């Protein structure tokens, strides 16, 4: 398979599955389930070819495909992946296959339509992560709402209509604001001297805008992304959507859809509006901290298992946002890794809650107790996922949170201390929940008749747990995948604050070949030490006058450094910092 069509194959292979499902008689439910699962597994296997052919030392876009779409308006079919989007593509294809397999017994009505919605949703999510044309991105961003609308509205719980409308209205409102920002960028880019009317994201990275303009456009994009994350105070749609969605819908919602918001900040808001990013860093850092603490405290008092896990997502995604707005290598890499970790850990929690709900038809914590004696295999899986969620060393959650806290500590000690309290609160509400559900006496007779996990359910959980343990023990492959792209991103954001560049300097413009354009000349981001030092070896000052220090400046970044070999540029950056 050629690299030319690999990204498109991954994105549209689920649509091929939809076409095949349309030809199958709806009464053949077993065949429909097996076919859908086979297509999702095939999509995951094809997506692994992206990782296999990915060049870790190239910060730019790879596997790029570009075709004219609406030539008169400068709209293109333009897709590709870098280290940031690659991991999210793999997470999407992996969790979709897991979610479909988990639905075999949970969905008993309109099975054919359900499976079609799952595959349509997968194509929409993948398109969001690979689109490099702003119109194409917006089409995928809004398009994936339609299958999720039906998944919650048709196969959801008793309050599914309310939850669906709330989810749809919130995300649509944010999407309209983003559309206004996209149109404004189009005209600003085309109206400048020598400009071009295009929606090409990489060309817009070079757009030099006044701070006031950046602030308004940043807000247009940031509100849309903050709703999707969701950040406090835009989070109120999430618990209802999670509680009412079917189990697979909750897995996809927590594991992938929420990551579209954090990905949007990394791909669009930060590099397009670097000065506005620095201007709003204190605000978004405080909102992230409030989300961490608020989500944890509200989780602590939830009587419903699913709602507890839903509010824990608000807290965990707060850590991701805090790492992103630390604007350090450790913080951003930790934030990206925590996006993956949250998708695995919280996705597994929703799977386990769904499995116990299928047996007891209740999610209330008070209706359980003493389950460890009755279903020990289920208890073992639940314990491991719970420990992963609270960040136990040796499991995936620890690595991401540790990097985020290290990166945050470098720029603001208070932020790091407050965020650390969220880790403590997470241990309180998760372990307390586990104690009430699994230990003590069996007080309800129905709990004595519960059956343990089936072979299919074990097959659903084992792949997720393998990644949970793998990332916790050996995170290097995941961090190495994002490192070059993160350095390039930080060079774009920090370029105006570099000590060796004038304050009005032009941001670097990433190209498809992995080079960074700087005005009339082009320099290779993987070789030019000065470009590296723009993100690694230099100190800038943010909106609060705080030193922005990255990996090359701190010996304390032991975990990040242990996950990759030291290069000549690294040693040069360290000597420069000294």
The 3-class SS string of 212-267 reads: HHHHHHHHHHHHHHHHHCCCCCCCCHHHHHHHHCCHHHHHHHHHHHHHHHHHHHHH
The encoded tokens of residue 29 equal: 């439910």
What range does the domain containing 385 cover?
Answer: 276-506
Residue ending a domain, among 482, 506, 530, is: 506
Domain assignment of residue 420, yes or no: yes
**DSSP designation for 549:** -
Do residues 543 and 397 share a domain? no
Residue 509 dihedral angles phi and psi, to the nearest 5°? -110, 105
Output the DSSP codes for 345-414: HHHHHHHHHHHHHHHHS--BGGG---HHHH-HHHHHHHHHHHHHHTT-TTSHHHHHHHHHHHHHHHH-HH
The encoded tokens of residue 358 equal: 């299928």
Do residues 341 and 421 share a domain? yes
Do residues 571 and 444 share a domain? no
Domain assignment of residue 19, yes or no: no
**DSSP designation for 507:** P
Residues 329/573, Cβ–Cβ less than 8 Å: no
pLDDT of 536 higher than 80: no
Do residues 513 and 419 share a domain? no
Tell me the C-alpha distance between 91 and 341, whole Å. Answer: 10
Domain assignment of residue 165, yes or no: no
Residue scoring higher pLDDT (485 or 567): 485
Residue ending a domain, among 447, 473, 506, is: 506
Q: Is the peptide bond before 151 cis (omega within 30 degrees of 0)?
A: no
Mean pLDDT of 526-546: 34
Domain assignment of residue 380, yes or no: yes
The encoded tokens of residue 161 equal: 């209509």
Domain assignment of residue 172, yes or no: no
pLDDT at 495: 59
Of all residues in the chain, what percent carry a pLDDT higher than 70? Answer: 85
Do residues 419 and 567 share a domain? no
Do residues 410 and 379 share a domain? yes
Pairing verdict, β 75-81 and 509-510: unpaired
* Positions of E strands within 17-117: 62-70, 75-81
Residue with tokens 């999610």: 363
Of 125, 93, 139, 77, the C-alpha closest to 263 is 125
Tell me the C-alpha distance between 378 and 384, whole Å. Answer: 10
Do residues 304 and 387 share a domain? yes
Do residues 499 and 516 share a domain? no
**DSSP designation for 80:** E
Tell me the C-alpha distance between 481 and 540, whole Å. Answer: 26
Do residues 498 and 537 share a domain? no
pLDDT at 494: 79
Do residues 529 and 404 share a domain? no
Do residues 339 and 386 share a domain? yes
pLDDT of 2 higher than 60: no
Tell me the C-alpha distance between 32 and 21, whole Å. Answer: 7
Residues 477/87, Cβ–Cβ less than 8 Å: no
Domain assignment of residue 162, yes or no: no
Q: Which residues pair with 66 in a beta bridge?
A: 78
Residue ending a domain, among 452, 487, 506, is: 506
**Model pLDDT for residues 218-235, shown as the tens digit of each residue:** 999 999 999 999 898 888
Residue scoring higher pLDDT (58 or 132): 132
- SS3 category, 79: strand
Residue 515 dihedral angles phi and psi, to the nearest 5°? -95, 160
From residue 515, how far is each of 190, 208, 355, 508, 573 by CA, in Å?
23, 19, 49, 9, 20
Residues 110/155, Cβ–Cβ less than 8 Å: yes
Q: Is 111 exposed, middle or buried (0-12, 13-18, 19+ CB in 10 A)?
A: buried
Domain assignment of residue 362, yes or no: yes
For the chain, report the end-to-end CA distance as a whole number of angstroms.
Answer: 48
pLDDT at 4: 54
Mean pLDDT of 123-128: 95
pLDDT averaged over the chain? 84
Tell me the C-alpha distance between 530 and 105, whole Å. Answer: 57
**Model pLDDT for residues 305-342, shown as the tens digit of each residue:** 999 999 998 999 999 999 999 999 999 999 999 999 99
Of all residues in the chain, what percent carry a pLDDT higher than 90? Answer: 66
pLDDT of 528 higher than 60: no
pLDDT of 128 higher than 90: yes
pLDDT of 125 higher than 70: yes
Residue scoring higher pLDDT (527 or 567): 567
Domain assignment of residue 122, yes or no: no
Lay out the sheet containing 509-510: strands in order across: 509-510, 515-518, 521-524
Do residues 485 and 554 share a domain? no
Of 464, 466, 456, the C-alpha closest to 33 is 456
**Model pLDDT for residues 464-520, shown as the tens digit of each residue:** 999 999 999 999 999 999 999 999 999 888 754 343 343 333 444 444 544 444 332
pLDDT at 195: 79
Of the ranges 203-207, 369-373, 456-460, which one carries the lowest mean pLDDT score? 203-207
Residue 63 pLDDT level (bands cut at 50, 70, 90) = very high
Q: How many domains does the chain have?
A: 2
């Amino acid at each position: 398979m050629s690299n030319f069509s690999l990204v498109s194959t991954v994105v549209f292979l689920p649509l091929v599955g939809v076409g095949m499902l349309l030809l199958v008689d709806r009464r053949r439910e077993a065949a429909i389930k097996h076919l859908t699962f086979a297509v999702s597994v095939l999509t995951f296997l094809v997506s692994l070819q992206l990782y296999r052919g990915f060049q870790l030392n190239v910060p730019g876009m790879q596997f790029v495909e570009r075709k004219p779409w609406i030539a008169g308006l400068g709209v293109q079919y333009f897709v590709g992946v870098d280290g940031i989007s690659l991991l999210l593509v793999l997470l999407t294809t992996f969790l979709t296959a897991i979610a479909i397999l988990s639905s075999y017994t949970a969905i008993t009505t309109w099975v054919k339509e359900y499976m079609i919605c799952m595959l349509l949703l997968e194509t929409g999510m993948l398109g969001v992560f690979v689109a490099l044309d702003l119109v194409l991105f917006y089409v995928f961003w809004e398009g994936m709402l339609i299958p999720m609308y039906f998944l919650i509205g048709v196969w959801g719980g008793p309050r599914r209509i309310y939850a669906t409308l709330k989810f749809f209205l919130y995300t649509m409102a944010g999407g309209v604001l983003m559309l206004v920002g996209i149109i404004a960028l189009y005209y600003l880019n085309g109206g400048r001297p020598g400009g071009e009317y295009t929606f090409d994201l990489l060309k817009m990275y070079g757009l030099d805008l006044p701070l006031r303009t950046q602030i308004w456009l940043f807000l247009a994009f940031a509100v849309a992304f903050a709703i999707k994350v969701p950040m406090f105070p835009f989070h109120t749609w999430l618990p209802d959507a999670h509680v009412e969605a079917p189990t697979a819908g909750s897995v996809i919602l927590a594991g992938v859809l929420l990551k579209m918001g954090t990905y949007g900040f990394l791909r669009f808001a930060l590099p397009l509006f670097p000065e506005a990013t620095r201007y709003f860093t204190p605000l978004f850092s405080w909102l992230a901290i409030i989300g961490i603490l608020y989500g944890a405290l509200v989780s602590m008092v939830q009587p419903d298992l699913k709602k507890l896990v839903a509010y824990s997502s608000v807290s965990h995604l707060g850590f991701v946002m805090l790492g992103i707005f630390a604007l350090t290598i450790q913080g951003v890499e930790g934030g990206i890794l925590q996006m993956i970790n949250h998708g695995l850990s919280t996705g597994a929690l929703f799977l386990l809650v769904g499995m116990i709900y299928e047996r007891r038809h209740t999610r209330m914590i008070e209706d359980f107790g003493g389950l460890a004696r009755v279903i020990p295999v289920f208890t073992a899986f639940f314990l491991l996922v719970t420990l992963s969620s609270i960040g136990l060393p040796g499991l995936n959650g620890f690595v991401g949170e540790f990097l985020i806290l290290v990166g945050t500590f470098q720029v603001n000690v208070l932020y790091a201390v407050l965020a650390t309290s969220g880790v403590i609160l997470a241990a309180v509400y998760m372990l307390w929940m586990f104690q009430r559900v699994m230990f003590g006496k069996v007080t309800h007779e129905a709990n004595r008749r519960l059956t343990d996990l089936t072979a299919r359910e074990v097959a659903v959980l084992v792949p997720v747990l393998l990644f949970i343990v793998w990332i916790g023990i050996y995170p290097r492959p995941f961090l190495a995948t994002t490192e070059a792209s993160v350095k390039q991103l930080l060079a774009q954001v920090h370029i105006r604050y570099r000590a060796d560049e004038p304050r009005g300097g032009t941001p670097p413009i990433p190209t498809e070949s992995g080079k960074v354009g700087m005005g009339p000349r082009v320099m290779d981001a993987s070789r030019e030490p000065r470009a590296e030092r723009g993100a690694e070896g230099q100190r800038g000052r943010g909106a609060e006058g705080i030193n922005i220090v990255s990996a090359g400046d701190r010996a304390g970044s032991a975990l990040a450094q242990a996950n990759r070999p030291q290069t000549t540029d690294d040693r040069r950056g360290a000597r420069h910092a000294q």
